Structure 1
Amino acid sequence: MTLNVTNLILSWGAKKNIRLIPSQSMLRQRNDENFESWCCSDSDSYFIVRQSCWPGWFMLEFQVNLLDEREHERARFYYSSERSYLQKERSFVLPFQSGKMQRRIVRLPRVRLARFDPMESAGHFAIRHFALKPLLPSFARDRMSWRLARLYGRTQLEVLQVFAQQASQQSDVSRDDLLYQAYDASFEQRARSGISYQQWITQVELPYLAAMRACMRPTSGILFSIIIPVYNPKPVFLQQAVLSVQRQYYSNWELCLVDDASTRSDTRDLLRRFAEADARIKIVFREQNGHISVASNSAASLASGEYLVLLDQDDELAEHALWAVWEALQSNPRAYLLYSDEDKLDETGRRYEPHFKPDWNPALQLSHNYTSHLGVYKADLFRQVGGFREGVEGAQDYDLFLRCLAALDQPDQQIVHIPQVLYHWRALAGSTAQAASQKTYTWKAGLRVLEHYLQLTGQQAVVEKGLLPNTYDVRYALPESLPKVSLLVPTRDGLEVLRRCVESVLNKTTYTNYELLIIDNASQQVETLTYLDDIQQDARVRVLSWPHAFNYSAINNFAVGEAQGELLCLLNNDVEVIAADWLNVMVSHAIQPTVGCVGAKLLYGDGRIQHAGVVLGVGGVAGHAHKYYPSDHHGYFSRLKVTQNYSAVTAACLLVRKVVYEQVGGLDEINLQVAFNDIDFCLKVREAGYRHIWTPYALLYHHESVSRGQDDTSEKKKRFLAEMNYMRQRWRERLQADPCYSPHLSLEYEDFSISSAQSKNEDIAVGANHQH
């Protein structure tokens, strides 16, 4: 029995199939979407990899889907130059997350025998992908030094210099030997320090709750009214929902249950028993089924509390939910709307798939209802907007939130996020919790809800279905007279790169009112100078001269002074247009009065994500969200597919109104000549009261720092470290708590993985240079 998984490239251009031969303890299971699934019956189940391999550097790629309750595992790859395994020390560890493509560089001798152990323990899984791809040594060296630079807070040049110095003191190892040893050890370290959700519950949540209970004092403060509309529930799940309320640490609550004319006789009996056993439980039996909005309003009519708490009949509250809400209100007495993080429950009660949310993120909320659960509303506001609205069932919670939002005068202060998992959403067959696509009517209802919100707020926009179920694309109208955009492209030689950028802009961009300013930073090559002369024959193009030392901030500030546009687009010369309407999309956001900077979705030439928003604090300063993910990946809770607010976007493609640019003084050409100037600029703009937008609908390639090169001199290294330190001193508090991220997500990795204790260290390595 063999399994042909994918292609193994043995030499450039030659392809052969890898054959994975299961060991006797590896049991074939049911088919899973045309992929065979397997069961490891013990900890020593494996596949023999039937393929010889020449010596060299390789990228090992694999994707394993865990089909049981686990989220993380460790695989291993063993290899031998002999025809039998004598020892197992020739191996490397492969920590992975279920369903995600994993890649790591390996250096192999001539391999005669290899085996792949997909799991360290018994379990059920499916292999989606397995490949070995040869690499040039220079590429392998670059990727390894980049990873270590991130981990250790150094530049790539520093990393290479350290290992070169160490190698010079030893006669039997090279710089690349030591580099590979450190690279390999970093995976072992990650395997030891990785954290799953179950580990997070044990290591983070439970100690926090123990400390909370130790400090808790009885209070008779705010009365919370929990409202639950009921219709034909499974008795066991309704009991669990009610029990989760009765177990609350905070005791000043009432539970308002309304039966919406259930056809199951046991439902009414169960509700009566609840009310008889606990005086805090109120019940009403409707004679006619009115559906969820009407039933929810009936439950709310029973409420006498200052705040209403929404709970579905088969979901559960965390035991500390009401206490956490009460605490949040002590710090935010003006709060009208509160929401929390959440997770899911399977039918056995196992918690999984936590959603660690950002603080109030208006653009994300208009893209999908990310606030969702736990939802807490001030009762006066609920009544002011008329409660739940009929006719939008399937999106009634979304509709309520947006109508309340429209009624608020200072939403930034009146909407509060509680970064704790306070709601457990039960995933039942056919429920939205299990799969949004199972309820297509909710998508249509959501469109109507958003259209109503835009009408209420007087915004000129249309709503279209988003890229994923239950996501939306709000397209703001462009004025009849399009505002002029000045595209600012600094360059120095690198004609091939520049020509690709310029021609893609001129030939593909459908937005018509723009000028392209190329700022020549002392190009020397005759071909480049000739091209710059010729390209100005196009009336849309002007070439400006900056004959001084490279200073990205100064170059752009100079160009802004020459720009004729109302809008400025900072654009790298190594960017290439993909989506023809990229500028239309970005302008439609940038002209909104509350918007500061607008960023695009940028891809590497091989299709992986280069930029999808910037997360503050990753690596100590900032990192690119979802960097290296496949271009079609949904991202963390759809965040690669929806428009949203981020704290910063990269200046490789950044659009901003000229008046805003000038209001904050432009880029810092004194302290941040090359690196981090875009992050600093975005933070200044946010400090001035504007929010930044990242959109996946503006799509371009970014070939990243091709013309300027790497920080490969002592002077450049010194400059980079000074700029990094400046950022960490000036913006220390902001870098430690990004409101568009979550304190429970990693500051070590850019993949939205759950934070471990190590990733909370403020002195962790620098994650992204943010050089242009």
Structure 2
Amino acid sequence: MSRLLSSPDALRHIATQVWSPRWVMRNLARLTRVKHTDLLVDDFLRHFETRVSYGHWIAAHERLDAASLVAMRAEAAQLRRRTRFSIVVPTYETAADVLEAFLDSVRAQVYPDWELCIADDASRQPHVRAILERHAAEDPRIRVTFRTSNGHIAEATNTALDMATGDFICLMDHDDTIAPNALYEFALALALDPDLDFIYSDEDKISSDGTERYGPFFKPDWSPEYLESCMYTAHFACYRTSLVRRVGGFRSDFNGAQDYDFVLRFTEHVGKVAHIPKILYHWRAIPGSTAASMNSKDYVVDAAVRALTARVERTGRLAFVRPNRFGGCFDVRRCVEGEPKVSIVIPSAARMSEVRGKPVDLVVNCVRSIVETSSYHNLELIVVHNGDLRPETAAALDAYGVVYVHYADPAFNIAAKMNLGARAATGDYVLFLNDDTEVINSDWLEAMLSLAQRPGVGVVGAKLYFEDGTLQHVGVTFCAGLPDHIRRGFSGDDPGYFFSTAGQRNYMAVTGACMLLRRALFEEVGGFEESLAVNYNDIDLCLKVWERGLRIVYTAQAELFHFESRNRERSVAAHEQAIFLERWGERVKTDPFYSPYFAARPPNFELVLC
């Protein structure tokens, strides 16, 4: 209620609408149907969020004034479980002002139990040694060694790592800075859960002169498939030292992407991972650095491809690893194990529609595109129809060996229809596909199957385009307990927020318009909820899978058209919304894969003041 009273735009809207009996009755009806009225109020207020610049966001959300830092120091002193952090840094020919800024940011930490282990990689500039020796003399927590020969970044990092005695290792670049509360936030997380092996935070960039902060990266919670698309955990992070020793530190063969190679290996051994949703690291964008542009260093991309290739070969059979057309993003594919049978369930009303200016029999077009385009052939095609297939439709489908399932209930219930089709399925996997879709790339099923076979993955969704080539589905997020499609209507060439559209990414849900999972898993979770006859049944299914600890994955490597009308008014029956909110509202009130700092109506990764 306090949020409502403090939103002038929301209050103005209420003042103008309160005289409308229809508006009043509609909203009173919504409130009486659900118990979680706070979720409906949240959803209402989202329409009045104010988009802001990053500078305004910093002013509104960061509390790093002197009084706050004093309070943090006092709280840190009271922690019963105290973690010692070793910040490991190689230096080489670092500019004096940049080196001073880096050192000052570490020494400004409000959490005191740290050591800074620096290995200078045979810098020739005399100021580097002078600055490092002065800071080491002023603070005994700073330890410095000077290498006599230049070994490059991985070898220098290992030299610094050999000096570390802390419980956790933190990595920094010599030209970056950290927020004064960085180690404090890690220490708090470990005090609450000492079993954490890996913690990472959000980050941003700073200009080369240190005067401007920009490009914030508000990251999702632990997302293994996303990590194989890009080095998203990056900075600032801490790693349990015993596991760092186990994986053997850094490998010189991967210089340029040595951190990525290290994290890929390290995370194969971790148990618990935590994400601190705060900007704790400032990555300096010096011209020519990867902070300024990933495309500026070809050897970095090459090293990252080799690191990902090694990762796939450790965890499966390699199909390919290749740079995505967006620099810093990668396409990773494991081979499909065996040749599992996929049952494709297509619920259809046997409609005709206009596509690309011509009349099209949707279900025939869908099935034809599967059969004639797909390179994966161990398929079972199941069309669930209402008993009113036109003779010409049936004849066309017969040519493709379609299995027919008759849905006889006159009441429209897409969930029941899909469940009926699934009961007829004999495949190892079941793929639910709308009849108004059309396959684009031949290896779409290999892309989805290779992910669905990964340990821990439950449901895989595809990249769907409207007829005009704009985005229809690239993942689903939640606002006030209700789902919505991310970046719906954006250009088909949109890379997304830090490659969210271009690569593969973990979410809580994907659309049932194209959704793949193991048939046994589908049956274990009880299939689609038939009380959600029209809407949310696909989201409900994903959440039942996610609740079991399995991951939901979106992949851009499976592309289809979805000829849903882009301009069609989307509406949800109030009783279905009430059922969904009652079941899931509290559990999805916040979305671990979409920052609460982003606008959720529409969910386009735009900063707001909440």
Normalising by structure 2, we get a TM-score of: 0.87
Between 1:421-430 and 1:482-491, the stretch displaced more is 482-491
The CA deviation at 1:584 is 2.2
Say if 1:294 and 1:437 are closer, same or farther in 2 by CA, change over 3 A: same
Q: How do residues 28-47 of structure 1 correspond to structure 2 at under 5 angstroms? A: none
Verify: 1:513 aligned to 2:378, yes or no.
Answer: yes
Deviations 1:590-639 (A, max 9, x none): 2334221111100111111110011122x640111111110001110111
Deviations 1:332-362 (A, max 9, x none): 2111111110000002321111000001100
The aligned residue for residue 440 of structure 1 is 298
Between 1:650-659 and 1:264-273, the stretch displaced more is 264-273
Say if 1:208 and 1:241 are closer, same or farther in 2 by CA, change over 3 A: closer
The CA deviation at 1:647 is 1.0
The CA deviation at 1:543 is 2.2
Say if 1:161 and 1:207 are closer, same or farther in 2 by CA, change over 3 A: farther
Between 1:325-334 and 1:215-224, the stretch displaced more is 215-224
The aligned residue for residue 473 of structure 1 is 331
Of 206, 212, 217, which residue of structure 1 is paired with 2:63? 206
Say if 1:161 and 1:701 are closer, same or farther in 2 by CA, change over 3 A: farther
**Could you tell me how far apart the structure 1 residues matched to 2:163 and 2:375 are?**
56
Q: Which runs of 5+ in 1 are unaligned?
A: 1-147, 153-158, 166-185, 758-772
Say if 1:674 and 1:213 are closer, same or farther in 2 by CA, change over 3 A: farther
The aligned residue for residue 265 of structure 1 is 126
Q: Which runs of 5+ in 2 are unaligned?
A: 1-9, 15-19, 27-43, 353-359
Contact 1:442 1:470 in 2 (8 A): no
**Could you tell me how far apart the structure 2 residues matched to 1:659 and 1:311 are?**
45
Contact 1:406 1:453 in 2 (8 A): no
The CA deviation at 1:517 is 1.4
Verify: 1:315 aligned to 2:176, yes or no.
Answer: yes
The aligned residue for residue 605 of structure 1 is 467
**Could you tell me how far apart the structure 2 residues matched to 1:588 and 1:322 are?**
38
The aligned residue for residue 681 of structure 1 is 541
Q: How do residues 109-148 of structure 1 correspond to structure 2 at under 5 angstroms? A: none
Verify: 1:556 aligned to 2:421, yes or no.
Answer: no
Higher-Rg member (1/2): 1
**Could you tell me how far apart the structure 2 residues matched to 1:447 and 1:298 are?**
25
Verify: 1:289 aligned to 2:146, yes or no.
Answer: no
* Structure 2 counterpart of 1:517, one-letter code: I
The CA deviation at 1:274 is 1.2
Q: Which runs of 4+ in 1 moved over 3 A?
A: 159-163, 207-216, 455-462, 709-712
Q: How do residues 486-525 of structure 1 correspond to structure 2 at under 5 angstroms? A: 486-495=343-352, 496=360, 497-523=362-388
**Could you tell me how far apart the structure 2 residues matched to 1:211 and 1:232 are?**
35
**Could you tell me how far apart the structure 2 residues matched to 1:593 and 1:222 are?**
32
* Structure 1 counterpart of 2:330, one-letter code: Y
Say if 1:634 and 1:207 are closer, same or farther in 2 by CA, change over 3 A: same
The aligned residue for residue 592 of structure 2 is 739
The aligned residue for residue 381 of structure 1 is 243
**Could you tell me how far apart the structure 2 residues matched to 1:209 and 1:443 are?**
42
Contact 1:341 1:423 in 2 (8 A): yes
Higher relative contact order (CA 8 A, sep 6+): 2
Percent of matched pairs sharing the same residue: 38
Verify: 1:453 aligned to 2:305, yes or no.
Answer: no
Q: How do residues 125-524 of structure 1 correspond to structure 2 at under 5 angstroms? A: 193-206=50-63, 213-214=70-71, 216-219=74-77, 221-349=82-210, 350-408=212-270, 410=271, 414-459=272-317, 461-480=319-338, 482-495=339-352, 496=360, 497-523=362-388
**Could you tell me how far apart the structure 2 residues matched to 1:210 and 1:565 are?**
63
* Structure 2 counterpart of 1:502, one-letter code: V
The aligned residue for residue 39 of structure 2 is none
The CA deviation at 1:753 is 0.8
Of 517, 523, 537, which residue of structure 2 is paired with 1:656? 517
Of 526, 538, 542, which residue of structure 1 is paired with 2:399? 538
Deviations 1:452-474 (A, max 9, x none): 22333355553222232232222
The aligned residue for residue 107 of structure 1 is none
Verify: 1:595 aligned to 2:457, yes or no.
Answer: yes
Contact 1:728 1:735 in 2 (8 A): no
Deviations 1:684-723 (A, max 9, x none): 01112321111111111112279xx8678xxxx6xx1111
The CA deviation at 1:493 is 3.6
Say if 1:598 and 1:311 are closer, same or farther in 2 by CA, change over 3 A: same
The CA deviation at 1:214 is 3.3
Between 1:499-508 and 1:290-299, the stretch displaced more is 499-508
**Could you tell me how far apart the structure 2 residues matched to 1:688 and 1:233 are?**
49
The CA deviation at 1:267 is 1.0
The CA deviation at 1:396 is 0.7
* Structure 1 counterpart of 2:166, one-letter code: G
Contact 2:90 2:120 in 1 (8 A): yes
Verify: 1:646 aligned to 2:507, yes or no.
Answer: yes
The CA deviation at 1:404 is 1.2
Q: How do residues 77-92 of structure 1 correspond to structure 2 at under 5 angstroms? A: none
Aligned residues: 559
* Structure 1 counterpart of 2:370, one-letter code: V
Contact 1:574 1:705 in 2 (8 A): no
The aligned residue for residue 29 of structure 2 is none
**Could you tell me how far apart the structure 2 residues matched to 1:601 and 1:231 are?**
43
The CA deviation at 1:275 is 1.3
Contact 1:552 1:673 in 2 (8 A): yes
Contact 2:476 2:509 in 1 (8 A): yes
**Could you tell me how far apart the structure 2 residues matched to 1:586 and 1:622 are?**
22
**Could you tell me how far apart the structure 2 residues matched to 1:732 and 1:711 are?**
20
Secondary structure of 2:244's partner? helix
Say if 1:689 and 1:446 are closer, same or farther in 2 by CA, change over 3 A: same
* Structure 1 counterpart of 2:578, one-letter code: N
Contact 2:343 2:426 in 1 (8 A): yes
Verify: 1:728 aligned to 2:589, yes or no.
Answer: no
Q: Note the aligned Cα RMSD (angstroms).
A: 2.5
Secondary structure of 1:251's partner? coil
* Structure 1 counterpart of 2:221, one-letter code: D
**Could you tell me how far apart the structure 1 residues matched to 2:70 and 2:496 are?**
36
Of 745, 748, 752, which residue of structure 1 is paired with 2:605? 752
**Could you tell me how far apart the structure 2 residues matched to 1:512 and 1:469 are?**
33
The aligned residue for residue 760 of structure 1 is none
The aligned residue for residue 7 of structure 1 is none
Contact 1:600 1:612 in 2 (8 A): yes
The CA deviation at 1:381 is 1.4
Contact 2:351 2:363 in 1 (8 A): yes
Contact 1:612 1:694 in 2 (8 A): yes
